[in-house]
């Protein structure tokens, strides 16, 4: 399934970025050499990152057990929430 239609990012690409250490939508976009366009995918990517960090971090091949932090990624509300289309930001 496509997560970001603007950049043609599917679940597989997002999960690959998360497995390589991405923790926010912005870091997923950087991993995929792209940037947020319309922003509609950001809530889905945040959710995927939280789920990944909550349960699958120990399975990440790129992280040693000492590097794994077993806390869900925090969800930050941008200070300029009213100025951002659709109410989302990539960080």
Model confidence over 48-80: pLDDT tens digits? 999 988 765 554 555 555 554 444 555 555 555
The whole-number pLDDT of residue 69 equals 47
If one counts every other C-beta atom within 10 angstroms of the C-beta of residue 43, the result is 14
Query: Does the pTM of the predicted model rise above 0.75?
Result: no
Bigger pLDDT: 80 vs 4: 4
Per-residue pLDDT of 22-42, as tens digits, reads: 999 999 999 999 989 999 999
Cα distances from 8 to residues 20, 40, 66, in angstroms, run 19, 13, 34
Calpha distance 48→46 (Å, rounded):
5
Q: Is 15 left (phi over 0), alpha (psi -120 to 50) or beta?
A: alpha
**Bridge partner residues of 66 (DSSP):** none
């Amino acid at each position: 399934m496509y997560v970001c239609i603007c950049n043609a990012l599917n679940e597989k690409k997002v999960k690959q970025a998360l497995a390589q250490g991405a923790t926010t939508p912005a870091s997923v976009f950087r991993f995929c050499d792209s940037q947020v366009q319309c922003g509609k995918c950001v809530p889905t990517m945040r959710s995927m990152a939280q789920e990944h960090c909550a349960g699958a971090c120990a399975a990440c091949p790129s992280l040693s057990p000492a590097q794994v932090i077993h806390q869900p990624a925090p969800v930050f509300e941008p200070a300029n929430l009213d100025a951002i289309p659709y109410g989302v930001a990539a960080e």
